[in-house]
Amino acid sequence: MKKSIVDAFNAQVEKEGYSSNLYLSMATWAEVEGLEGVSQWLYQQADEEKMHMLKFIAFINERGGKAVIPAFEQPPAEWKSVKIMFNEVLAHEKYITESIHKLIPIIQKENDYAALNWIQWFVDEQMEEESNVQAIIDKLNLLGDKNLYMFDRDIIKMRTSETTAE
């Protein structure tokens, strides 16, 4: 694998690892706030982001590159509300989507068709991530500031239906 792709993929390793830590921090906050369903959703999201990071690491190493495990910036630890937090989740997912999309021209320039085929999974995954988080925000908007208890109870079912559809 060409150095330009290894370097770009290693930068993505850092972004995916930070995503996992960000969602762990959000999960911890939600758990302390008594939002068990939200915290469980976010813990699972953190695990998923870690899996994404590991996929990049494995691909780099399997293709003859060397993955570099970076230090991760400490994420925030407090949010004013669940709605604000999920708006930040959506903004972060859009940032990751943009980052994945920026990998494609690098891969195309190097004519690495295996990497181009492989990265398509992440393109599809990011569309799903943004859609799922938008659905959560839509539900929070419908609720206003009421019935957070019912939302917290039901959010984990949204993840369950996501994973069973895959």
What average pLDDT does range 40-60 have in this prediction? 98
**Cα(148)–Cα(164) distance, rounded to whole angstroms?**
25
What average pLDDT does range 49-66 have in this prediction? 98
DSSP state letter for 56 = H
Of how many residues is the chain composed?
166
**Of the candidates 56, 64, 42, which has an alpha carbon nearest to the alpha carbon of residue 10?**
56
pLDDT, position 28: 98
Angle, alpha carbons 123-125-130 (nearest 5°): 100
The domain 3-165: what is its CATH number? 1.20.1260.10
pLDDT of residue 30 exceeding 90 = yes
* 98-143 confidence digits (pLDDT tens): 999 999 999 999 999 999 999 999 999 999 999 999 999 999 998 8
pTM tops 0.75: yes
- Percent of the chain exceeding pLDDT 70 equals 92
pLDDT, position 148: 75
Q: What six digits make up the tokens of 10?
A: 């290693």
**Cα(30)–Cα(49) distance, rounded to whole angstroms?**
18
Neighbours of 72 (CB within 10 A): 16
The band of 165, judged by pLDDT with boundaries at 50, 70 and 90, is: very low
What average pLDDT does range 93-98 have in this prediction? 98
**Cα(62)–Cα(68) distance, rounded to whole angstroms?**
13
pLDDT: is 144 or 59 the higher one? 59
